[in-house]
Amino acid sequence: MSLLLDILSGLCLAAGSLLCITGGIGLLRLPDFFCRLHAASINETLGTPLILLGLVLQTGFELTSAKLILIALFILATNPTATHAMSRAALHAGEKPVGDGHAQEESSSKP
Amino acid sequence: MLLAALLAIFVSMMLILVRAFAGPSVCDRVLAVNMFGTKTVLIIAVGGHALGWTSYVDVALLYAMLNFVGTIAVLRFFESTLQEPPA
């Protein structure tokens, strides 16, 4: 049972770490603010609870794991909210999504 | 595996820091600082667990709350200056 929990926790930690690094690379390399927001928010909203879940599986049935679950739930609730607020502020500030004109051309050329 | 997770979070924090310094607009910097705060929560939680300091989970919880409130406050603060001038 302990071995199974260790393997599951290791898998969760590895997946969360991979998502963290992917979010960092996406934040650095994507061309546009909205693309960066996409990469950052999605990777973070999944990766942070995965790492915290890995910690919960290692901790076991204690008060500390309840606090860790509370952090994960809080981040799951607040991270999309902050992302939404940032995207709305950027849109009001006049940030243009890359490739917007191309999409409009395609939609207007369709019958 | 805990050490690998700490290393991955650290590498990701460095990448985010590059974007926070190089970001062309204010929104990029706000996004990078918000992400950096979430990674700080992670590094506090994982590091505290690796060292056996269970009380650091409380610090991580408080930091998550302060990070969210800080991001919203900064966005409210810049809301008036970020408005596009009417063309």
DSSP sequence for A49-61: HHHHHHHHHHH-S
**In chain A, domain spans:** 2-97
How big is the CA angle at A11 (ends A5 and A12), to the nearest 5 degrees? Answer: 90
What is the H or E stretch that residue B32 is in? helix B26-51
Exposure of B16 in the CB half-sphere (CA atoms within 13 A): 28
Complex ipTM: 0.86
Q: Which of A3, A13, A19, A20 to mutate to probe the B interface, most B CBs <10 Å?
A: A20
Per-residue pLDDT of chain B (87 residues; tens, 9 = 90+): 889 999 999 999 999 999 999 878 888 999 999 999 999 999 999 999 999 888 899 999 999 999 999 999 998 888 777 665 555
Exposure of A103 in the CB half-sphere (CA atoms within 13 A): 5
Which one is predicted more confidently, A111 or A3?
A3
Which one is predicted more confidently, A102 or B55?
B55
| A33 → chain B, closest CA residue | B28
| A38 → chain B, closest CA residue | B31
- What pLDDT is stored for residue B37 in this prediction? 93
SS in 3 state form for A74-94? HHHHHHHHHHHHHHHHHHHCC
In the structure, what pLDDT confidence band is assigned to residue A68 with cuts at 50, 70 and 90? very high
**Nearest residue, CB atoms, B58 vs list A67, A85, A90:** A67
CB contact under 8 A, A13 and B4: yes
